[in-house]
């Protein structure tokens, strides 16, 4: 498929006005599964459970979460791709949905062919942190320090193909420094080893490092988004610190199998939009470092295509993916 395929599919709902009314009224008629392709406790899981609770209240039918982890999210995502397109299986994804496609030579799903975007519900910035023993206090000082280090610097991530992984690789590529990847099995172990000094550099989500930055066990140098974050208002962005065209954040979005009816997908999008406007939901997300948003399937489709282009260019230019 070509660029904007997602958007063209999403816009097609306008031609289905009559069936939409019937299908929206009928859906859901039985329990609906939120498939989370990661273990419990992570961002995808937290957000899926918030949505499941509210959708259950609003639609009078049970929405429940099932965690199917493995292979960096690929196992659960592949299961969602093969699910019946009846609205009974919903995937909660993040940036790795796109990134894994670019990094792995063989992957059991196609992000364009097998899925239909529904909505993005939240984003979260990452923070460039170093161990307090690293004698730098800015991004430019870090770049100069790494350039003077013969073997470069090790950095930790929750795993290969995660947004943290490619955020670090993009930083290395744009700033011309040598970074060596140390993948962990999840955010917790990576953060713990950064605090212990076993790795000196970390790109961590705002939620995962905020407390450690406040206590001084990690030193924050910059935020990954182009604009400063309300969670760290005094922290400059990497871009304003001199690394051009650097703007990276995690998004969390809902997708359904590709042949799901436009009516069902539209109803889910409308409900998610309403849920994201609820004060208690917004407070819950803000308290955990997320930025609540409500981006419909057309906007989501655009982000997916932009991510495929952006990260595809990076992976190709540095030879990061599997052959």
Q: What is the pLDDT of residues 211-226, one digit of tens each?
A: 899 999 999 999 999 9
pLDDT tier, 88 (very low <50, low <70, confident <90, very high otherwise)? very high
> pLDDT at position 6, please?
45
d(CA 115, CA 111): 6
What share of the chain in percent tops pLDDT 90? 67
Q: Does position 54 have pLDDT exceeding 80, yes or no?
A: yes
Asked if 94 contacts 87 with a C-beta cutoff of 8 angstroms, the reply is no
d(CA 280, CA 253): 19
d(CA 292, CA 286): 7
Residue (of 20, 11, 32) closest to 257 by Cα position: 32
pLDDT tier, 22 (very low <50, low <70, confident <90, very high otherwise)? very low
Q: What is the pLDDT of residues 235-287, one digit of tens each?
A: 999 999 999 999 999 999 999 999 999 999 999 999 999 999 999 999 999 88
Mean pLDDT confidence for 100-105? 87
Q: Which domains does the chain have, with CATH numbers?
A: 5-122+250-318 (3.40.190.150), 125-223 (3.40.190.10)
> pLDDT at position 319, please?
82
**More confident position, 178 or 4:** 178
What are the DSSP calls for 185-247, one per residue? SSHHHHHHHHHHTSSSEEEEEHHHHHHHHHHTSSEEEEESSSSPBTTBTTSPBTTTTT-TT--
Mean pLDDT confidence for 87-94? 96
**More confident position, 124 or 320:** 124
Residue (of 15, 76, 27, 13) closest to 55 by Cα position: 27
pTM value is 0.82
> pLDDT at position 322, please?
67
Indicate the average pLDDT of the chain: 89
> pLDDT at position 323, please?
54
Q: Which residues pair with 36 in a beta bridge?
A: 67
């Amino acid at each position: 498929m070509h660029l904007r395929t997602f958007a063209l599919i999403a816009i097609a709902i306008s031609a289905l006005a009559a069936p939409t009314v019937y299908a929206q009224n009928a859906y859901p008629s039985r329990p609906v599964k939120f498939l989370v392709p990661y273990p419990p406790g992570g961002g995808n899981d937290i957000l899926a459970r918030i949505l499941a609770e509210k959708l259950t209240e609003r639609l009078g039918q049970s929405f429940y979460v099932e965690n199917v982890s493995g292979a960096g999210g690929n196992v659960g995502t592949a299961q969602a791709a093969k699910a019946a397109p009846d609205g009974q299986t919903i995937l909660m994804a993040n940036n790795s949905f796109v990134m894994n496609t670019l990094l792995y030579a063989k992957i059991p799903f196609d992000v364009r062919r097998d899925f239909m975007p529904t909505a993005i519900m939240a984003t979260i910035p990452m923070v460039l942190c170093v161990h307090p023993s690293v004698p730098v206090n800015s991004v430019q000082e870090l770049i100069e320090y790494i350039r003077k280090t013969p073997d470069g610097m090790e950095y930790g991530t929750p795993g290969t193909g995660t947004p943290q992984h490619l955020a670090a690789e993009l930083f290395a590529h744009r700033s011309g420094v040598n970074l060596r990847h140390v993948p962990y099995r999840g955010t917790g172990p990576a953060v713990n080893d950064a605090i212990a000094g076993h790795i000196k550099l970390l790109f961590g989500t705002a939620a995962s490092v905020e407390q450690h930055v406040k206590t001084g066990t990690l030193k924050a140098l910059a935020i990954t988004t182009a604009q400063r974050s309300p969670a760290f208002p005094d922290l400059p962005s990497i871009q304003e610190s001199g690394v051009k065209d650097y703007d990276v954040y995690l998004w969390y979005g809902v997708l359904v199998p590709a042949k799901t009816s436009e009516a069902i997908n539209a109803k889910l999008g409308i409900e998610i939009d309403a849920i994201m406007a609820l004060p208690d939901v917004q407070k819950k997300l803000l308290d955990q470092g997320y930025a609540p948003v409500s981006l419909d399937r057309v906007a989501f489709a655009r982000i997916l295509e932009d991510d495929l282009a952006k990260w595809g260019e990076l992976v190709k230019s540095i030879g990061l993916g599997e052959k």
